[in-house]
Amino acid sequence: MTSWVLVTGAGGVLGERLVRGLLGRGYRVRGLVLPSDPARARLEALGAEVVEGDVSRADTLRGVATGVDTVFQLAAVILSPEPSVFPRVNRDGTANVLNEARTAGVSHFIYVSSASVTYPKLTPYAQSKLEAEELVRRESALAWTIVRPTLVYDEHGGQEFVLFREYLERWPLVFFIGDGKAKKRPVLSDDLVTGLLALPDAEVSHGKVYNFSGGESICMRELAELMLLHRGMRRRFVHVPVPLCRALAWLLGAVQRRPLLTPSSIAGIVHDADLDPSEATRELGYRPLGVRAGFARCFPLVEGRRAAALVRDIQRNEA
């Protein structure tokens, strides 16, 4: 008998790709979307069963996991000017989905967390994701797996990726937070989805936390240069001390509802997210591309003399 899989947050870019992949592998898929989400029609066209609900409201989730074998808990808020949204959706929403999974007798609960839970000082978003992880870890009624993606990108972007790229492109002079030496492992969304697709049938993953990161470590300054290179652009960089950036973020936060600079955006630039994916590679066959190979696939490089000049500029800056 074909297994049923529930995907929360199915209306998001990652959720929709995961639904497509699960259907392609023969699973029957139920996708949870927010009320009136325009993604509903697309998911139904793929062949998914679609239900509407809000993970932060337990009363809208009744019976959502009935008959389901595996739950992918993707639903989350990444960016919000209101800090109270993060615990309400990311932590309490996960608790609500866990409760439905427990009631329905789900076999496997897969929680998509974040690399930011490893930061030395947590943002409100990271704190809510870590607290949700702790709820999942304490769950004894069903098998669980936690995955921690790093910065996600593809040809269409990725929410945080696009915001960073737009900032780099906005002005000819880039004011860069800190020294740019923080290490990251950006992950191609196709690789992330492939890793997630390996989990429903992988009993070895029960009770494990996996890093679904990219195949290559890169520092933030080099990543910024690479992003601009693949857009055919050059920029001058001015590195701004982190304490000054934090002071400015505090000031902007006091007078603006949606400031350009926030403590969370600073954390994303200055903290390492160089998570080692080797355990996922060893146990799940997860083999992600490095960021250079991934960018070459998603963002064809400008050719000829202009490209060569851009590469020389980057090499000169690195020297």
Distance from the first to the final alpha carbon of the chain:
60
- The pair of three-digit structure tokens given for residue 71, joined into one six-digit string: 């739950």
Q: What is the β-pairing status of strands 173-177 and 236-240?
A: parallel
Q: How far apart are CA 185 and CA 210, in angstroms?
A: 14
pTM for this predicted structure: 0.92
- pLDDT tens per residue across all 319 residues of the chain: 579 999 999 999 999 999 999 999 999 999 999 999 999 999 999 999 999 999 999 999 999 999 999 999 999 999 998 999 999 999 999 999 999 999 999 999 999 999 999 999 999 999 999 999 999 999 888 999 999 999 999 988 788 999 999 999 999 999 999 999 999 999 999 999 999 999 999 999 999 999 999 999 999 999 999 999 988 888 999 999 999 999 999 999 889 888 889 999 999 999 999 999 999 999 999 999 999 999 999 988 755 445 555 555 545 544 4
Residue 273 near residue 115, CB atoms below 8 Å: yes
